[in-house]
């Protein structure tokens, strides 16, 4: 198959390029726009209590939306306590703000039940005053079409406080969603610029060629358009929801993996030119030999990503296929478009470099290979020991579920206002939880029974207060609002809702009724349960499928086992190192709970890429008649430069995520770049060849893939077989 692709790309390059241009044009013309959401409830299935509570609330109170849309926080510009005049002025400002709320916000809610004109309440310490605005009945709080309400309100409040001693800040779900979208857009621009700059600089240093430096930018740019269009189409067809960060992650994945696969091909193409071949035969041979390794590596990545369709969380069921589509398009381009462009450009590809035909000595890799070949046990113990020590620290990982806080920079308005509110008012007041008590048979719910549930919830550990609200119109349900002592996204709040709050509500519910606990914190409780389930399902399934791919590629049952063991060690070492840096050194309370899945996505999947490249080269060296130790030595010498270059570029592109400006992207950027560095420079460079050298010919059992193959003819006699 790869020889046929090589002949097509080398003999008919214009046909291949034209087909890609037409394909991209059709996708651009026909595909919908890729839409994202930051609504965490959309990512959970209906079986979880938080979602059942939301449904029960919507059914029982269709005309009453008590959801907080925005919170306005006032304080003095000089930092002093608010005066009575300040509070009166703030109240007057909020009374006039009703005309600037837009369609997504309902009305400023009175804060004193006995006096509907009281729209602003001071904190007990007098440092701030706040006002609450409800979310409009049909609004979600996450739809970008609703964000004009935030900008209009902020502009009106800024005008009203100008020239006074007051300053204001708008937070709450709608404001946080708006700020998150703005931050994601900024992150996309910053990360994109940093990624492209890094790729340009590194390729310029490696190849000294203007065209090669620009080629990944142009080709991956085209691939990106196609991939985003196909992902948007798949999301629409299968009703998938993409998280707000998916565009940033896709950008890094496409440029990182795309550049890697281009490198794998170019290194082999340059080898063929140095062997004395002309351009088109060199392209065909390079694709024939590198194609299997590239396709197998890409297949392992795609399978790893697609395993996420087994997740119970919509965020991963959507991002898994999205990333798989992106990698599949990148892989297809690497096997067709890249060779066609190279065949068309010929030797001009390397302009203005004059040394591309000079075989480098690779002295450092040759020395490392010789040392590893003489002492494989030392290298296996040293590299494996480092990974094992770091992996032990993975057990110190503490998850945090503050998606809003982790997805926002510290200096945006909603974050600043939230911090002021939490520091001076009950932290739980910023996002109250609720209980819906419903009749099982549709009959009436006794008020005394509902009050008993409210009292029980109010007395539960971790709850600041609980209030019984009005019954539904038909009397079949009551709503109870409660505030937690801790920040609703904190570990303390999650533990309170998981145990005391839910237990109290369920136990106090009268016979014939059911109590559902809802709200943001309840959603986080269910997130944690769903994640634990996913760890037990997704990881093993992905590992088994990758092992099968490796077994088919290598015709061996032994090598895939220790290759996956090395990748597992790399995963643990990455999570452990990230915990050390962010929790141990930086002092963070925890790391975002999504991080282990993202490490799995990129470190396990992409780490397998480098292992495949190394083991494929090692097998070819053995097939040439070398003993296992000499084969390992030569594999490090010849495949080492390719893996090192690819690892630096891919790790660097993911490190650019650390410029994204929020704690999620910072921790993710560090973890993935560190994991890829470990995969390239520890796992595949040393651990894999050292273990293979120690196991010897038994590594290829039962397929005997290390047996020397007959010569294919004069054309291929001198051809090394793999990247």
Tens of pLDDT along 93-122?
Answer: 998 887 777 777 888 888 776 678 888 888
pLDDT above 90 (res 142): no
Give, for 223, the enclosing helix (H) or strand (E): helix 210-238
Whether 712 shows a pLDDT value over 50: the answer reads no
Query: Given pLDDT bands bounded at 50, 70 and 90, which one contains residue 243?
Result: low
Distance from C-alpha of 722 to C-alpha of 291, rounded to nearest angstrom: 9
pLDDT recorded at residue 477: 93
Least confident of 347-351, 423-427, 502-506, 542-546: 423-427
Lowest mean pLDDT of 502-516, 578-592, 651-665, 679-693, name the range. Answer: 651-665
pLDDT at residue 679 is higher than 50: yes
Q: Dump pLDDT digits (tens) for 143-196.
A: 667 888 888 899 999 999 998 999 999 988 788 878 776 766 666 677 778 778
Token duo for residue 241: 């929801």
pLDDT score, position 479: 92
Percent of the chain with pLDDT over 90: 27
Residues of the chain with CATH 1.20.1640.10: 1-30+179-359, 370-402+539-705
Average pLDDT, stretch 314-341?
87
Which candidate, 627, 609, 638, places its Cα nearest to that of 693?
Answer: 627
The pLDDT score that the predictor gives to residue 661 is: 61
149 closest CA partner among 162, 136, 130: 136
Residues of the chain with CATH 3.30.70.100: 49-54+424-525
Check: CB of residue 387 under 8 Å from CB of residue 573: yes
Evaluate whether the domain defined by 49-54+424-525 bears CATH number 3.90.180.10: no
Given a cut of 50, whether residue 642 has pLDDT beyond it is: yes
Nearest Cα to Cα of residue 263 among 638, 649, 679: 649
To 5 degrees, how large is the angle CA 164–CA 133–CA 187?
80
Largest separation between any pair of C-alpha atoms in the chain: 97
Residue 147 phi, psi dihedral angles, 5° rounding:
-75, -15
Domain at 370-402+539-705, CATH from 1.10.645.10, 3.20.20.140, 1.20.1640.10, 3.30.413.10: 1.20.1640.10
pLDDT on residue 377 = 94
How large is the average pLDDT for residues 199-208? 84
Which has more pLDDT, 596 or 435? Answer: 435
**SS3 annotation, 78-114:** CCCCCCHHHHHHHHHHHHCHHHHCCCCEEEEECCECC
pLDDT at 709 over 60: no
Instruction: Kindly report, residue by residue over 554-592, the tens digit of the pLDDT.
Output: 888 898 999 888 888 999 999 999 999 999 898 887 788
| The two structure tokens encoding residue 433 | 């939880």
Report the distance separating Cα 89 and Cα 411, nearest Å.
26
Q: Is the pLDDT reported for residue 667 higher than 60?
A: yes
Look at residue 721 in the predicted model and tell me its pLDDT.
38
Distances (CA, A) of 136 to 65, 103, 113, 133, 181: 7, 7, 21, 9, 20
More confident residue, 49 or 470: 49
Task: Tell me: pLDDT of 44 over 50.
Answer: yes
Distance CA 263, CA 207 (A): 10
Please report which confidence band the pLDDT of residue 714 belongs to, taking 50, 70 and 90 as the band edges: very low
What stretch(es) of the chain map to CATH 3.30.70.1320?
67-171
- Per CATH, domain 67-171 is 3.30.70.1320: yes
Tell me the pLDDT tens digit for each residue of 347-405: 888 888 877 676 665 678 889 999 999 999 999 999 999 999 999 999 998 887 765 55
Q: Which two tokens stand for residue 89?
A: 């002025």
d(CA 140, CA 38) in angstroms, rounded, equals: 11
- Amino acid 351: pLDDT: 85
464 close to 450: Cβ distance less than 8 angstroms:
no
Query: How far is residue 148's CA from residue 682's CA, in Å, rounded to a whole number?
Result: 50
Confidence of residue 713 (pLDDT cuts 50, 70, 90): very low
- Note if the bond before 213 is cis, omega within 30 degrees: no
The continuous run of DSSP H or E covering 134 comes out as strand 129-135
Confidence (pLDDT) at 651: 84
Over residues 638-644, mean pLDDT = 85
Check if the beta carbon of residue 566 is closer than 8 Å to that of residue 688: yes
Rounded to whole angstroms, the Cα distance separating 140 from 150 reads: 13
Query: Where does the pLDDT of residue 330 fall: very low under 50, low under 70, confident under 90, or very high at 90 and above?
Result: very high
The SS3 call for residue 137 is: coil
Computed over every residue of the chain, the mean pLDDT equals: 83
CATH 1.20.1640.10 fits 1-30+179-359, yes or no: yes
């Amino acid at each position: 198959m790869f020889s046929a692709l090589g002949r097509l790309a080398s003999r008919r390059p214009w046909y291949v390029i034209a087909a890609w241009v037409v394909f991209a044009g059709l996708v651009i013309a026909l595909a919908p726009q890729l839409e994202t959401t930051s609504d965490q409830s959309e990512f959970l299935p209906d079986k979880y209590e938080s979602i059942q509570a939301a449904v029960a609330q919507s059914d029982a109170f269709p005309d009453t939306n008590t959801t907080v849309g925005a919170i306005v926080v006032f304080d003095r510009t000089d930092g002093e306590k608010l005066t009575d005049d300040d509070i009166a002025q703030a109240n007057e400002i909020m009374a006039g703000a009703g005309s600037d709320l837009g369609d997504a916000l309902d009305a400023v809610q009175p804060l004193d039940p006995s006096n509907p004109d009281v729209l602003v309440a001071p904190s007990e310490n007098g440092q701030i005053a706040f006002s609450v605005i409800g979310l409009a009945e049909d609004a979600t709080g996450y739809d970008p079409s609703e964000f004009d309400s935030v900008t209009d309100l902020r502009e009106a409040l800024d005008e009203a406080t100008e020239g006074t001693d007051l300053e204001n800040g708008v937070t709450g779900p709608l404001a946080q969603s708006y700020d998150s979208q703005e931050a994601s857009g900024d992150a996309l621009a910053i990360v994109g610029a940093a990624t492209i700059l890094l790729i340009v600089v590194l390729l310029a240093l490696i190849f000294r060629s203007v065209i090669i430096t620009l080629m990944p930018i142009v080709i991956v740019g085209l691939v990106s358009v196609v991939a985003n269009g196909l992902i948007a189409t798949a999301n629409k067809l299968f009703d998938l929801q993409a998280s707000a960060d998916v565009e940033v992650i896709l950008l890094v994945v496409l440029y990182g993996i795309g550049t890697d696969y281009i490198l794998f091909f170019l290194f082999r193409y340059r080898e063929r030119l140095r062997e004395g071949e002309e351009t088109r035969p060199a392209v065909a041979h390079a694709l024939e030999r590198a194609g299997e390794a590239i396709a197998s590596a890409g297949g392992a990545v795609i399978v790893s990503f697609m395993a996420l369709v087994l997740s119970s969380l919509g965020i991963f069921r959507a991002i898994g296929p999205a990333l798989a589509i992106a990698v599949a398009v990148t892989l297809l381009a690497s096997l067709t478009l890249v060779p066609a462009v190279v065949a068309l450009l010929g030797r001009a590809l390397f302009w203005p470099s004059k040394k591309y035909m000079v075989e480098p000595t690779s002295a450092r890799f040759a020395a490392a290979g010789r040392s590893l070949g003489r002492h494989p046990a030392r290298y296996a113990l040293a590299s494996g020991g480092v990974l094992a020590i770091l992996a032990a620290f993975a057990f110190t990982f503490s998850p945090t579920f503050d998606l809003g806080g982790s997805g926002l920079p510290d200096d945006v308005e909603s974050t600043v206002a939230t911090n002021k509110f939490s520091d001076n008012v009950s932290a739980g007041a910023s996002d109250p939880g609720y209980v819906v008590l419903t009749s099982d048979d549709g009959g009436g719910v006794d008020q005394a029974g509902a009050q008993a549930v409210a009292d029980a919830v109010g007395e539960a550990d971790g709850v600041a207060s609980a209030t019984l609200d009005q019954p539904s119109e038909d009397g079949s349900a009551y709503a109870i609002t409660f505030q937690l002592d801790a920040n609703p996204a904190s570990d303390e709040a999650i533990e309170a809702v998981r145990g005391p709050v839910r237990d109290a509500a369920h136990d106090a519910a009268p016979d014939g009724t059911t109590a559902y606990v809802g709200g943001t914190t309840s959603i986080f409780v269910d997130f944690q349960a769903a994640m634990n389930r996913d760890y037990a399902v997704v990881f093993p399934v992905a590992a088994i499928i990758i092992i099968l791919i490796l077994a088919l590629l290598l015709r061996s049952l032994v090598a895939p086992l220790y290759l996956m063991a090395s990748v597992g060690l790399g995963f643990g070492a990455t999570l452990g190192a990230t915990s050390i840096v962010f929790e141990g050194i930086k002092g963070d309370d925890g790391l975002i709970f999504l991080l282990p899945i993202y490490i799995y996505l990129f470190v396990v999947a992409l780490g397998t890429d480098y292992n495949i490249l190394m083991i494929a080269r090692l097998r070819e060296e053995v097939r040439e008649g070398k003993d296992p130790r000499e084969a390992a030595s030569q594999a490090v010498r010849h495949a080492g430069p390719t893996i090192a270059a690819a690892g630096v570029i891919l790790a660097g592109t993911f490190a650019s995520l650390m410029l994204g400006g929020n704690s999620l992207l910072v921790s993710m950027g560090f973890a993935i770049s560190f994991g890829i560095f470990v995969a390239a420079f520890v796992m595949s460079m040393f651990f894999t060849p050292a273990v293979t050298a120690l196991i010897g010919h038994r590594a290829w059992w039962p397929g005997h893939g290390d047996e020397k193959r007959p010569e294919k003819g004069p054309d291929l006699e001198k051809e090394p077989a793999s990247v």
